């Protein structure tokens, strides 16, 4: 079945550091890929998405590129802020394969210190 | 738009008691999902509905758990009897498949219900 693997956390960075959170996936066909973010005490929010190969999703300074050749969707940000401290989830949706649910990775906790 | 609404936000109960969690999806959304989040197991899909019909309940842990969606604007997740290992944050999410030509399933999450079973 479909699966998502993302780097183990927690990740601790200083403010203005560069962020990369790795995500790879296993799926049949052409899934859509997502990054969700969960701030403390809240539900998950969609951060960005990409629906086909070579698409780049971007939002709030975060970017991720859908790489079919490496089955990856790594999240990057050039300069993190304290307010970016949260848990980040990589996910895929394989509606083309008849699955209407999201498959999530286990999440990566990011802490940004001043 | 009010977003996905869940109630209660916090629930503390004693082992053996019945617990009912409630969810109101975003108006117009036709898919609804129940998730459970724990430190040990992460985010798990319990069940999802499409047009009020349960499509996949393979994630429901056991017969003590049941979910209903009597109409497009309301769903419940019931645990009877509750056990301490059910303590978790339960999320409801909704999505609109096919609306506006979307082919991907962007899900909108509620704030969650934090359940503690003593």
Radius of gyration over every alpha carbon of chain B, rounded to an integer in angstroms: 14
Closest Cα of chain A to B110: distance in Å? Answer: 6
| Cβ pairs bridging A and B (under 8 Å) | 57
Cβ-based contacts of B97 with chain A (< 8 Å): 95, 100
Contact B93, B44 (CB under 8 A): no
Cβ-based contacts of A104 with chain B (< 8 Å): 42-43
Q: Would you say residue B104 has pLDDT above 60?
A: no
Which of A44, A95, A104 minimises the CB distance to B105? A95
Which tens digit of pLDDT belongs to each residue from A53-75?
Answer: 999 999 999 999 999 999 999 99
Q: Would you say residue B62 has pLDDT above 90?
A: no
Residues B74-105: b if buried by 16+ CB within 10 A, e if exposed:
ebebebeebeeebbbbbbbbbbbbeeeeeebb
d(CA B31, CA B72): 9
pLDDT value at residue B102:
44
Closest Cα of chain B to A80: distance in Å? Answer: 24
Instruction: Tell me the average pLDDT across B69-86.
Output: 96
Burial class (CB in 10 A: 0-12, 13-18, 19+), A78: exposed
pLDDT value at residue A9:
85
d(CA B102, CA B90): 27
pLDDT value at residue A93:
87
Backbone angles phi, psi at A60, to 5 degrees: 55, 30
pLDDT value at residue B106:
78
Which tens digit of pLDDT belongs to each residue from A7-51?
Answer: 888 999 999 999 999 999 999 888 999 999 999 888 899 999 998
Which of A61-65, A92-96, B30-34 bottoms out in mean pLDDT, i.e. has the lowest? A92-96
Closest Cα of chain A to B17: distance in Å? Answer: 25
Cβ-based contacts of A42 with chain B (< 8 Å): 111-112
Which of B98, B104, B114 to mutate against chain A (most A CBs within 10 Å)?
B104
């Amino acid at each position: 079945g479909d699966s998502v693997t993302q780097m183990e956390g927690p990740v601790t960075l200083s403010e203005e550091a560069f962020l990369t959170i790795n995500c790879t996936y296993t799926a049949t066909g052409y899934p859509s890929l997502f990054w969700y973010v969960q701030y403390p005490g809240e539900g998950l929010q969609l951060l960005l998405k990409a629906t086909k190969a070579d698409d780049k999703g971007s939002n709030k300074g975060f970017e991720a590129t859908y790489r079919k050749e490496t089955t990856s969707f790594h999240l990057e940000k050039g300069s993190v802020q304290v307010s970016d401290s949260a848990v980040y989830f990589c996910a895929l949706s394989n509606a083309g394969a008849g699955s209407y649910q999201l498959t999530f990775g286990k999440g990566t906790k990011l802490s940004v210190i001043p | 738009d009010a977003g996905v609404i869940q109630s209660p936000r916090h629930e503390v109960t004693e082992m053996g008691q019945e617990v009912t969690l409630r969810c109101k999806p975003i108006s117009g959304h036709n898919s609804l999902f129940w998730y459970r989040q724990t430190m040990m197991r992460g985010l798990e899909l319990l069940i999802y509905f499409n047009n009020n019909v349960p499509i996949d309940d393979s994630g429901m842990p056991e017969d003590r758990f049941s979910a209903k969606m009597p109409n497009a604007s309301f769903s419940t997740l019931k645990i009877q009897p509750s056990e301490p290992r059910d303590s978790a944050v339960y999320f409801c999410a909704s999505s609109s498949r096919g609306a506006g030509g979307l082919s991907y399933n962007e899900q909108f999450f509620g704030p969650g219900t934090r359940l503690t079973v003593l």
